[in-house]
Amino acid sequence: VSVNNASSTPVTNGSTSSDTPTGFWNPFPVFIATPPVASPNFHMETASGLLCDYSQFGISHSSVLADNLSCKIKQRGVTWKEKFEILEKHNSFRAKVARGEELRGYLGPQPSASNMRQLVWNNQLAEVAQAWANQCPHGHDCYNCRKICSHNYPIGQNIYFHWGHSKSSGWAQAIEDWYSEVVNMNKSLVDAFAPQGRTIARYTQVVWSETREIGCGAVYYSVDYFPESKIYVCNYGPAGNLLGRYVYKRGPAATHCPYGSSRTFPELCA
């Protein structure tokens, strides 16, 4: 059994209305849904390895919370290989959209993107995502619970839940599930994001053009009749799904890149 949940907005879909900052959409109700080491490869990872005192953001910050001892965690963290898989999968989907090759959508295919950024890894985003995964949560943490020291941007979040009897499913499946909401995406919303009856928030966070950094965490645990359960959490910065903001700018791929195009993904902006 797999369930997706998304707070691709700076607030969580598990938060109350009081947690929702003005100008952002909180699309979902309360019900559902060891960070990688630093690398010298700064094309894949930001230089965010400095220590962060997360307690400065308050006692409710996800990295300050004690682990959920009632959760029978067997393994936690994202491996080096998984980190690259997460980046590769996200950037491949973003490049596909940027090229105008995504033919699925509600009432037609998706337009190409001229300003889609390449995602790189941020260790602090990963630390906080891992801290929240350690809670074995049933939903998202709050807006202020995800803050990091390296940037003061709002942070979005996608979560993937899987309950099963075997070690099936993995990061590729989780990201594909988030992206699969493209079938519900009306291309008119590319120019001005807005809530609609069809679920799109996980997809739009995956391809939000101005999001440039990602960090993820994971726990593998046993619960009730499902001995092989897992929770994947990805935090994104800056967050997507800003009400009235474009998801991306239409146009030929990588034609509105202030710092040039990516060497790894030429359709994306560096």
Is pLDDT of 218 > 90? yes
Interhelix angle 80-98/171-179, nearest 10 degrees: 20
Is residue 270 very low, low, confident or very high in pLDDT (cuts 50, 70, 90)? Answer: very high
Cα dihedral across residues 235, 232, 28, 241: positive or negative: positive
Listed residue (160, 155, 80) closest to 124, CA to CA: 155
What per-residue confidence (pLDDT) applies to 173?
A: 96
- 94-124 pLDDT, tens digit per residue, is 999 999 999 999 999 999 999 999 999 999 9
**Which domains can be identified in the chain, with CATH numbers?**
2-37+54-237 (3.40.33.10)
Q: How far apart are CA 131 and CA 8, in angstroms?
A: 18
Q: Which residues contact 33 (CB under 8 A, 6 or more apart)?
A: 3, 4, 5, 6, 13, 138, 139, 159, 161
- 251-265 pLDDT, tens digit per residue, is 999 999 999 999 999
pLDDT cut 70: percent of the chain above it? 81
Residue tagged 């490869």 (tokens)? 41
Structure-block tokens of residue 261: 């195009």
